[in-house]
Amino acid sequence: MKTDIEIASEAKLKPITEIAAQLGIAEDNLECYGKYKAKVNGRGNKKGKLILVTAINPTPAGEGKTTISIGLADGLKKTGRNVCLALREPSLGPVFGIKGGAAGGGYAQIAPMEDINLHFTGDLHAITAANNLLAAMIDNHIHWGNELKIKEVTWHRCQDVNDRALRNIRSGVGFDCERDEHFDITAASEVMAVLCLSSDLDDLKKRLGNMVIGLDEDGNRVTAHQIKAEEAMTILLKDAIKPNLVQTLEGVPAFVHGGPFANIAHGCNSIQATRAALSYADYAVTEAGFGADLGAEKFLDIKCRTAGLEPDAVVIVATLRALKCAGGKTENLSTRDDECLVKGIDNLKKHVENITGVFKLPCVVAINRFATDEDAEIELLENELKALGVRAVCAECWAKGGAGAVKLADAVAELTSSKKTKMEFSYSLDQSTEDKIVIIAKKIYGADGVIFTDKAKADIAKYPQNLPVCIAKTQFSLTDNPKIIGRPSGFNITIKEVMYKAGAGFLVAIAGNIMLMPGLSRSPSAERMSINDGVIEGLF
């Protein structure tokens, strides 16, 4: 069996100008970064149908959500449909940490993969620079007299590599700006969220200025606008806000732009990229991070609300291996175990119920099939889902590319044409912040209720009540405890604190022991990488 690298090296990529021409994008609207990457200016005049790809809660076995997203797009093209992808950019944190690259796998990949997984067009570096420029300007303001009388700085520095040692540090030691400091990973920074939710450059500048950086001596919020930082930050981000165009191995255009994590941020690619894909193609396939309890909920309740978007169909990805894992099986996942499979399917059912019952959207389950999967296991899964009125379709994108997703493509296209109900949000903005969090916990996670710490209650009392809520929670469980898998019941969610992201336009509620700066694993992917004669191995 060929490796991802061998498959990618054999692929004959087209110049990005040819890929753009497929969408009707003129060369004058391209800013090329080499032969196979470009920034895109402007929009098309189509009004495509939006397809959201999400998944069950992640397991060590893997689900292949990005692979299915890419394979589905390739399948739509193979069946003669005009399609475009809109995906997130990989972060160096997972690339060098535990996950590896995020460009798909096998014959369902976006390319050039090495570039996409590493520095790409520099967007994440620009976000990091803008974030840390603001931090430097805050400390500089304090050094030169502190005219705004800043007493507490709440703004964090960031970087795009996992480094637990930077979670809590002491900065400015020996100088008049000495204080406790914190680093977040770039994907969790508010600048990332702001860039991904901005409608244009002016909106970006306004949102950057609205970001809260601390409190003054009277307890009033101090903003980046008061520090006079938003113009310089916008200058750093003027190119980063433009969506990037690449391609799949089968030549499907793909906008890859923005990279917030779904466990600690809102988990979706930029509004710019999604709107571009919709404007240039009849079908736009996009993806939300991690399981549907995090990525899809935030995509629908935050991104769709902000951008006025509404999916025409939802795909929920699962593998039999992952379902067995969710059911408690820890070894020999390729072997049959109907008991664990049925238990794991309960987790899938919860996500299906959320999409169809809470958000009122049509969905199909994509079974990312492995060669070891037995037909009887597939039939068991199909029968379990029939009771919910949901179809399960096998896809073999990794092994066959678009040819392995033709049935899935037809099923998704059929769903988009038969959509009858309007999407509903899980909560309304006029409800209190506490009520919104409780609704998400009960409706989406299946919790009995929410425990708010005293700090969380005090935080909520200080902040506006008419904003969406972004819950930062472990991706591995419907609960706030990563060790509780499957579809648990009889649990509560604990909210430790709430943060106001005025630029992004939402509140972040921290559930359980979630970290805004991840650490490297005992054996990070970086240890298994090499480069010889310019050839990189171990990156994917």
Active-site amino acid positions? 65, 67, 88, 99, 262, 290, 370, 398
Q: Which residues contact 308 (CB under 8 A, 6 or more apart)?
A: none
Biggest alpha carbon distance in the chain? 73
Q: Which of 245, 254, 246 is nearest to 70 (CA)?
A: 254
The owner of tokens 């941020």 is 265
Q: Which of 76, 83, 54 is nearest to 405 (CA)?
A: 76
Query: Which tokens hold the place of 247?
Result: 């391609």
The owner of tokens 């988990």 is 267
**Which backbone phi and psi does 493 adopt, to 5 degrees?**
-100, 135
Cα distance between residue 329 and residue 320, in whole Å: 11
CB-count burial class (<10 Å; 0-12, 13-18, 19+) for 443? middle
Number of H helices, E strands in the chain: 19, 25
Cα distance between residue 330 and residue 322, in whole Å: 10
Cα distance between residue 90 and residue 102, in whole Å: 6
Cα distance between residue 328 and residue 347, in whole Å: 12
CB 365 within 8 A of CB 385: yes
Q: Which residues contact 84 (CB under 8 A, 6 or more apart)?
A: 23, 48, 73, 252, 253, 254, 255, 276, 277, 280, 281, 283, 284, 285
Q: Which residues contact 534 (CB under 8 A, 6 or more apart)?
A: none
Cα distance between residue 520 and residue 523, in whole Å: 8
Q: Which three-class secondary structure state does DSSP give residue 416?
A: helix
The long-range contacts involving 429-432, CB below 8 angstroms and separated by at least 24 positions, are: 429/305, 429/466, 429/467, 429/468, 430/466, 432/465
Alpha helices in 354-484 (DSSP H): 375-386, 397-400, 406-418, 433-439, 454-462
116 CB-side CA count, 13 A: 30
Cα distance between residue 50 and residue 352, in whole Å: 18
User: If residue 66 lies in a helix (H) or strand (E), which one and from where to where?
Assistant: helix 65-78
Other C-beta atoms lying within 10 Å of the C-beta of residue 328: 13
Cα distance between residue 112 and residue 44, in whole Å: 24
Cα distance between residue 511 and residue 505, in whole Å: 19
